């Protein structure tokens, strides 16, 4: 009986734990929108959450100003929320912040929104105090942030403050009317420059980032190291009671001069005042006449008492007998290592040096090592099979003679004429001449074909060539056959392009595809060998096509000619180029694809950003493009950087892209029923070329 009761109890506990786990696993409703301008924070907002919603935090980007964040003017932290970590959620347009009585923790990552003008703090909140545009804790020992609109040229932190979290460094001028014109604000926030910042006597924590000012006064003896790392680059004058902090600044300034070759005058000691500074704190007890040096190399070798290291090897760490490791510094400059001891405000250089032995440099090859130059004629000696890169070569020769033994050229040769007696020369493209004498027939044919394809006018002569090998019977009158991407024959060469790079293929009976060429008469260029697919550029011009075949050493023009007619979906002539002006969403009916819909004469339902999409169409949407000539094209390779959705209860969240993709057709959008608005931010396209690789943000409503 007891065992049966115990089993029932364990089963009940298991079901209860499963139920609780499912509750915890549900998505929290972090944010809710009201009247398009009010953002409610409905749940505790952690640092991880702020990273999720901070993906478009850059205030001056097009993505931000077309996102749902742009219109937020009021931030309301709902009653019951006790922790908010804004982090990367940067609401640049926010003007008012409401804090409830339940809030215990509030954190901005680096700065508050520069347009913030008002904070409404609940009178029942036991944790915070609001005075003169500044948020403190209740006993006024912590300063959380100051309104950017409340700052003055002189910032005097109150005497009671022990911790300072954020000092604003940007703000919107009061006479600035915020505008969103073509996705950009009228002006960016302006930087604040303080004439003076004064930290009080009991201050122990300072902001991670400080704005520049003329004078920085630190009356506390607690000055953290991170504040001193960049202090003098932002402040003209420093008053600091912490002598260790001042000493650290001066010491690091010297070390920067040693590492980067700058003089030690980058910091003017006369502009630093420290009443407690005492140079007698420099430790010199380690000084002696000689020192034992132990070096650990990058590969782990330990070397003792060395004075040289081989080039290519570097010292990873050092130990010097009698000196604490944390005080030892070393630096390589001008091919030798120097060693220093850091103490208080200065660095002492030790009488130790380790030199870097230079690599043994092999003598650079010269022209005279491979042949003879006389009267601007360079004759390479017989037996030389390769010519490496030569830095001492003349700018050009009158004549160059390559022997039969020559196989490889690794340096560029410019000359009037070149005589090539080799049968197996590679990298011959490095030779730039007006006249080529080539004895080998195959090498001659390679030169002729390459120069034809690259439209070079050089003369190539081969005494062993036989023009009787040209096949003149190839001038048949068979009609070339053109096919589209599906392999279907295109009649009368009337073609509706699907993208700015459309793939066509052509073949001619009796022709080897490697020797068959199509010539674009209007652009005076080859479209390339075309039994295999080639890229056809649509720029709105009528394409007059000719055909040619390569036979032996020449390009034989054929009699056939064609005109490629580009047409729109309705059959009218294609006008203009292929630039697109707008990205849209369109409906793909069941039983069709984007390609079949575009190939058909059926009308296409499409919606621009800002439109309302009826619910019955919201389950089969795809991204498309409206071109400058009014034509429509599909876009099948689109991915979105961020997708934000607003449900029927006005809860707002970022969703994964796979949540709104159709399971069976990944290129289709399927908007879940609970969402009434959605934003597509930072769209990018891969695999197509419409002149753009990035789409502007898009915002849609979903109707009934």
Alpha carbons 72 and 179: distance in angstroms, whole number? 13
Predicted confidence at residue 516, as pLDDT, reads 86
C-alpha dist (Å) from residue 55 to 19, 50, 310, 514: 33, 9, 48, 50
Alpha carbons 217 and 155: distance in angstroms, whole number? 10
Alpha carbons 536 and 559: distance in angstroms, whole number? 22
Predicted confidence at residue 295, as pLDDT, reads 93
Give a yes or no: residue 85 inside a domain. Answer: yes
Q: Are 314 and 301 a contacting pair, CB within 8 Å?
A: no
Q: Residue 489 gets which letter from DSSP?
A: B
Q: Quick one: 138 and 187 in the same domain? A: yes
Alpha carbons 41 and 39: distance in angstroms, whole number? 7
Give a yes or no: residue 647 inside a domain. Answer: yes
Q: Are 186 and 176 a contacting pair, CB within 8 Å?
A: yes
Q: Are 151 and 173 a contacting pair, CB within 8 Å?
A: no
C-alpha dist (Å) from residue 571 to 342, 568, 599: 81, 5, 11
Predicted confidence at residue 175, as pLDDT, reads 55
For residue 489, the Cα-to-chain-centroid distance in whole angstroms is 43
Boundary residue ending a domain (566, 597, 620): 566
Alpha carbons 140 and 131: distance in angstroms, whole number? 10
Alpha carbons 268 and 270: distance in angstroms, whole number? 5
Q: Are 96 and 149 a contacting pair, CB within 8 Å?
A: no
Q: Quick one: 487 and 436 in the same domain? A: no
Burial class of residue 51 in the structure, from the number of CB atoms within 10 Å of its CB (0-12 exposed, 13-18 middle, 19+ buried): middle
Q: Quick one: 406 and 340 in the same domain? A: no
Alpha carbons 10 and 384: distance in angstroms, whole number? 89
Q: Quick one: 53 and 199 in the same domain? A: yes
If the chain, 704 residues long, is cut into consecutive pieces of 10 residues, what is the mean pLDDT of each piece?
50 42 53 88 82 50 59 91 81 88 87 86 96 94 90 91 90 58 54 91 88 90 70 78 88 85 67 92 92 90 90 90 94 91 94 88 84 92 91 86 94 94 88 95 94 88 96 83 82 73 77 82 57 48 79 91 83 78 90 85 91 94 86 73 86 82 79 90 60 72 92
Residue 641 neighbours by CB under 8 Å, 6+ apart: 55, 56, 63, 681, 682, 683, 684
Other Cβ atoms within 10 Å of 288 Cβ, number: 9
| CA-closest candidate to residue 691, choices 646, 642, 647, 627 | 627
Alpha carbons 173 and 162: distance in angstroms, whole number? 30
Q: Quick one: 441 and 426 in the same domain? A: yes
Place of tokens 């009247």: 35
Alpha helices, DSSP H only, in 200-331? 225-228, 243-260
Give a yes or no: residue 10 inside a domain. Answer: no
Q: Quick one: 658 and 614 in the same domain? A: yes
Give a yes or no: residue 209 inside a domain. Answer: yes
Q: Quick one: 216 and 75 in the same domain? A: yes
Buried b (16+ CB within 10 A) or exposed e, 659-676: ebeeeeeebbbebeeebb
Q: Quick one: 38 and 185 in the same domain? A: yes
Q: Quick one: 589 and 698 in the same domain? A: yes
| CA-closest candidate to residue 75, choices 52, 103, 51 | 103
Alpha carbons 334 and 338: distance in angstroms, whole number? 10
Neighbouring-strand partners of residue 143: 136, 164
Predicted confidence at residue 599, as pLDDT, reads 80
Domain with 378 in it: 367-465
Q: Quick one: 51 and 196 in the same domain? A: yes
Q: Are 540 and 553 a contacting pair, CB within 8 Å?
A: no
Boundary residue ending a domain (169, 204, 220): 220
Predicted confidence at residue 92, as pLDDT, reads 75
Q: Are 99 and 122 a contacting pair, CB within 8 Å?
A: yes
Q: Answer left, alpha or beta for residue 455, where phi above 0 means left and psi between -120 and 50 means alpha.
A: left
Give a yes or no: residue 551 inside a domain. Answer: yes
Alpha carbons 64 and 56: distance in angstroms, whole number? 6
Phi, psi of 322 (to 5 degrees): 90, 0
Number of domains in the chain: 5
C-alpha dist (Å) from residue 145 to 48, 91, 111, 168, 624: 22, 15, 8, 7, 46
Burial class of residue 363 in the structure, from the number of CB atoms within 10 Å of its CB (0-12 exposed, 13-18 middle, 19+ buried): exposed
Alpha carbons 483 and 488: distance in angstroms, whole number? 5
Predicted confidence at residue 67, as pLDDT, reads 65
Alpha carbons 497 and 516: distance in angstroms, whole number? 23
Q: Quick one: 604 and 661 in the same domain? A: yes
Residue 14 neighbours by CB under 8 Å, 6+ apart: none
Which tokens is 388 given?
């490496």
Alpha carbons 293 and 322: distance in angstroms, whole number? 10
Give a yes or no: residue 11 inside a domain. Answer: no
Neighbouring-strand partners of residue 681: 642
Give a yes or no: residue 267 inside a domain. Answer: no
Q: Quick one: 298 and 330 in the same domain? A: yes
Alpha carbons 172 and 160: distance in angstroms, whole number? 29
Cα dihedral 302, 307, 312, 314 sign: positive
Place of tokens 């047409």: 567
Give a yes or no: residue 413 inside a domain. Answer: yes
The size of the chain, in residues, is: 704
Which tokens is 681 given?
């931010």
Boundary residue ending a domain (566, 600, 632): 566
Count of alpha carbons within 13 Å of 318, Cβ hemisphere only?
A: 26
C-alpha dist (Å) from residue 198 to 153, 238, 652: 11, 10, 42
Q: Residue 322 gets which letter from DSSP?
A: T
Q: Are 295 and 270 a contacting pair, CB within 8 Å?
A: no
């Amino acid at each position: 009986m007891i065992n049966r009761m115990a089993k029932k109890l364990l089963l009940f506990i298991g079901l209860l734990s499963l139920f609780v786990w499912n509750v915890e696993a549900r998505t929290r409703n972090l944010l809710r929108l009201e009247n398009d301008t009010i953002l409610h924070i409905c749940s505790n907002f952690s640092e991880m959450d702020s990273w999720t919603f901070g993906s478009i935090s850059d205030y001056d980007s097009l993505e931000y100003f077309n996102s749902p964040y742009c219109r937020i003017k009021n931030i309301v932290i709902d009653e019951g929320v006790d922790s908010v970590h804004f982090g990367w959620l940067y609401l640049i347009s926010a003007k008012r912040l409401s804090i409830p009585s339940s809030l215990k923790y509030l954190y901005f990552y680096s700065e508050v929104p520069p347009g913030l003008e008002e904070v409404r703090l609940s009178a029942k909140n036991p944790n915070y105090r609001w005075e003169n545009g500044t948020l403190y804790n209740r006993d006024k020992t912590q300063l959380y942030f100051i309104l950017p609109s409340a700052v003055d040229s002189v910032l005097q932190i109150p005497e009671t403050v022990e911790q300072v979290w954020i000092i604003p460094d940007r703000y919107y001028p009061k006479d600035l009317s915020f505008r969103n014109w073509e996705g950009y604000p009228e002006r960016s926030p302006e930087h604040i420059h303080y004439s003076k910042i004064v930290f009080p006597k009991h201050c122990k924590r300072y902001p991670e980032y400080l704005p520049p000012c003329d004078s920085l006064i630190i009356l506390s003896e607690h000055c953290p190291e991170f504040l001193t790392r960049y202090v003098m680059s932002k402040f003209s004058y420093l008053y600091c009671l912490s002598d260790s902090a001042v000493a650290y600044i001066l010491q690091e300034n010297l070390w920067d001069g040693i590492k980067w070759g700058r003089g030690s005058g980058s910091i003017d000691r006369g502009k630093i005042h420290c009443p407690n500074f005492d140079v007698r704190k420099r430790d010199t007890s380690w000084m002696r006449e000689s020192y034992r040096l132990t070096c650990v190399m990058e590969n782990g070798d330990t070397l003792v008492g060395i004075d040289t290291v081989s080039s290519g090897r570097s010292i990873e760490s050092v130990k010097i007998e009698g000196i604490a490791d944390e005080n030892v510094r070393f630096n390589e400059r001008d091919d030798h290592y120097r060693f220093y001891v850091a103490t208080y405000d200065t660095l002492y250089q030790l009488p130790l040096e380790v030199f870097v032995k230079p690599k043994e440099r092999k003598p650079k090859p010269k022209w005279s090592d491979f042949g003879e130059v006389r009267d601007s004629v360079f004759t390479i000696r017989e037996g030389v099979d390769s010519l490496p890169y030569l830095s001492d070569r003349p700018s050009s020769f009158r004549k160059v003679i390559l022997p039969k033994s020559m196989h490889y050229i690794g340096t560029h040769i410019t000359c009037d004429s070149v005589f090539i007696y080799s049968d197996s020369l590679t990298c011959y493209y490095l030779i730039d001449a007006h006249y080529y004498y080539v004895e080998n027939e195959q090498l001659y044919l390679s030169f002729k074909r390459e120069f034809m394809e690259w439209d070079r006018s050089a003369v190539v002569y081969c005494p062993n060539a036989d023009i009787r090998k040209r096949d003149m019977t190839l001038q048949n009158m068979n009609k070339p056959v053109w096919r589209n991407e599906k392999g279907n024959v295109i009649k009368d060469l009337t073609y509706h392009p699907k993208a700015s790079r459309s793939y066509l293929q052509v073949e001619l009976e009796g022709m080897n595809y490697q020797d068959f060429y199509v010539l674009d008469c209007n652009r005076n260029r080859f479209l390339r060998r075309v039994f295999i697919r080639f890229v056809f550029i649509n720029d709105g011009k009528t394409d007059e096509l000719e055909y040619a075949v390569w036979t032996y050493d020449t390009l034989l023009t054929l009699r056939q000619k064609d005109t490629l007619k580009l047409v729109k979906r309705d059959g009218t002539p294609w006008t203009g180029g292929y630039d697109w002006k707008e990205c849209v969403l369109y409906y793909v009916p069941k039983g069709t694809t984007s390609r079949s819909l575009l190939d058909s004469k059926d009308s296409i339902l499409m919606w621009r950003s800002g439109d309302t999409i009826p619910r019955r169409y919201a389950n089969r949407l795809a991204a498309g493009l409206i071109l400058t000539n009014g034509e429509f094209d599909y876009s099948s390779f689109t991915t979105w950087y961020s997708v934000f959705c607003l449900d029927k209860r006005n809860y707002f969240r970022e969703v994964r892209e796979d949540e709104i993709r159709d399971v069976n057709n990944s290129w289709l959008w399927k908007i879940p029923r609970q969402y009434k608005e959605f934003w597509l931010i930072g769209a990018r396209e891969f695999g197509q070329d419409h002149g753009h690789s990035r789409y502007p943000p898009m915002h849609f409503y979903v109707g009934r």
